[in-house]
Each structure stands twice: as C-alpha cells, then as structure tokens.
Chains A and B, each alone.
Chain A
Amino acid sequence: MTHLPYILSSYGLTAIAALWLSIALRLRLKRARARLAGLERAARAQERRSP
C-alpha cells in the first residue's frame, strides 16, 4: 500500500480540523452560557434590591 501516507494524512488532517472545531465550539458554548447566566443572575439581584 504505497499510498498509505497520503491516505492517512488526508484522514488525519480532516480529523484534527473536525476535533479542533468541535472542541473550540464546546468551550465557546460553555463560556457563553456561564457568562450569560452570571450576568442574568446579577441583573435579577439588582432588580430585587432596587425599590
């Protein structure tokens, strides 16, 4: 199988790109959800405090 390095490189490159996009998205979603939840909690607390 002389073409093996080319085949492995193609599949490997695709797998790395897919994993990178998926992990970046997971982290971004987690960060965005946490940030919004924190801000909403703070906004609600402020509303309760104000007369």
Chain B
Amino acid sequence: MIHPSPSAAAGRPSTGALLHRFANPGRFLRLSRWLFPLLSIAAIVCLAAGLGLGLFFSPADWQQGDAVRIMYVHVPMAILASSGYAALALCGLLSLVWKHPLADLAAMEIGPVGAVVTALCLATGSLWGKPMWGAWWVWDARLTSVLVLFFLYLGHIALIRAFDDPQRGFRAASILAIAGVIDLPIIKFSVAWWNTLHQPDSITLTHAPSMAMSMLVPLAISFAGFALGFAALVTGRLEAAILEHRAQQILTRRAGARA
C-alpha cells in the first residue's frame, strides 16, 4: 500500500509537483520576460560600481602592489566556475531523477557559460601569476584541479551533442556532470590539503576575512555583478533554447502532417 506524503495529505503539492510547477516552459518564458532585463541591468550597475572601486579606489597591496586588482575579476570567476558546475550537476540530478522538463535545456545552456567563466579564471590567474610567481603556469594542485573542471565543462558540452538521439546525449552529460562534482571539494580544499604555490583562501565561513574592508567591499560588489551577469546570460540563453525548441516542434508537426 502506498501512503501519501504528509504534504500531499495536507493538500500541499509535493516536492516533485512543485519542481514541475516551476519547470513549465510557458511559465518560464513569462518569468524571463521581466527577469532577464532586470538581472542584466543589476549586473551592469554592480559591475560598474565594483570594478570601478576595485580599479581606482581600493588600495594597492603592500606585497603585490597594483597586481592585486586582478583579484576583482579572478576571484568572482573562480567562485562562479565552481558554483556553475554545481548548478550543472543539480540540473543533471533533476533530469535523471525527476525528469524535470527544463533541466536538460538549462544544463545545455549553463555549460558554455561555465566553460567561458572557467577559461577566464585560468587566464586571469595566469596573468596574475606571471608578475607574482614569475611563471604563467605551474602544475599546482589548485590550478590543475581548475583545469580539470574546464575539461569537465568541455566534456559536458561535447557529450550533449555527441549522439543522434538528444535524450541519450542529455543522459550521458547528466551522468558526467554528477560524477564531476568530485572535483569541487578538491578545488576548494586543494590549498589546505597540499603545499601549493597558490595562496590559501582569504575568505572562509569559520574565520574573519584576512583582507581589508577597502578590498573586501569592491570584491563583494564585483562578485554580485558577475553572479547576476551569469544568471542573466543563463536566463536569456534558456529563453532562446525554449523558443528554438518550440519552432522545431512546429516544423516537426508540419512535416508529420505532410507525410
């Protein structure tokens, strides 16, 4: 005998039903119509303020000099590369377990943005490393694990497009996304587990930040700007993917009617 869940018994929609309620493409398009411009404007405002403060008003580091200003681009990219991949894995889970209608499309659109963000994290890190360490690249645990993350993103993008049947591609990519999550704690704790050239985290959940407020504020605003920009790009790309999917459905229906 199947017992109803407490929420269903109380007349409330279950988690699965709630997920599907927010997965309706029509509802998403209505949401995206106002959310996309709002996120875009908020991102531009935050980026202008955060990067402006970081470039022109924050102090130079006593040890690194002005090269520390690369941090206002590099650190948000590093955080977004990891959190973007976590979102990708979540989409994979939603697709495999709950057959969420938008999860596959969302994963397909997060992948390329995440790959660009990870590439930017590696490139800006390299540009920061050269004047500080005297090398563009070292096979350091942090750098190598982020490079692996970049390859995971590329693998995900390639797998989605590798099959004639798109469902098989989505399924394979979802499995890769979920398996690849193992790289995220390695990235996070690499500077603690191994002796690395990369500096340890300046901001942790358990300790006060080892950074002056005059640097922390522009960094937080820049991060908010890049995060909002990431969200805006993914929302816009998902809207485009839904519209393309609808157009394809009309064409398929028309071809079916002619046959």
Contact = CB atoms under 8 A, between A and B. Distances in A.
Contact of B127 (A2, A9, A29, A40): A9
A43 to B, nearest CB: 6
Interface residues of B, number: 33
Interface string B147-184: 00000000000000000000000000000000000000
Interface residues of A, number: 25
Chain B CB count within 10 A is highest, among A21, A28, A33, A40, for A21
Contact of B69 (A7, A17, A29, A43): A7
Interface string B218-236: 0000000000010001001
A14 B251 contact: no
A49 to B, nearest CB: 13
B53 to A, nearest CB: 13
A4 interface: yes
A20 B137 CA distance: 26
B250 A39 contact: yes
A6 B128 contact: yes
Contact of A29 (B128, B130, B131, B236): B236
Given A4-B66, A6-B127, A36-B246, A11 B51 contact: yes
A14 B119 CA distance: 10
Contacts of B216: none
Contact of A43 (B70, B128, B254): B254
A28 B123 CA distance: 27
A22 B74 CA distance: 20
A47 to B, nearest CB: 11
B88 interface: no
A48 interface: no
Contact of B250 (A7, A18, A43): A43
Nearest to A33: B243
A18 B229 contact: yes
Contacts of A1: 66
Contacts of B254: 43
Nearest to B242: A32
A5 B120 CA distance: 16
Contacts of A39: 247, 250-251
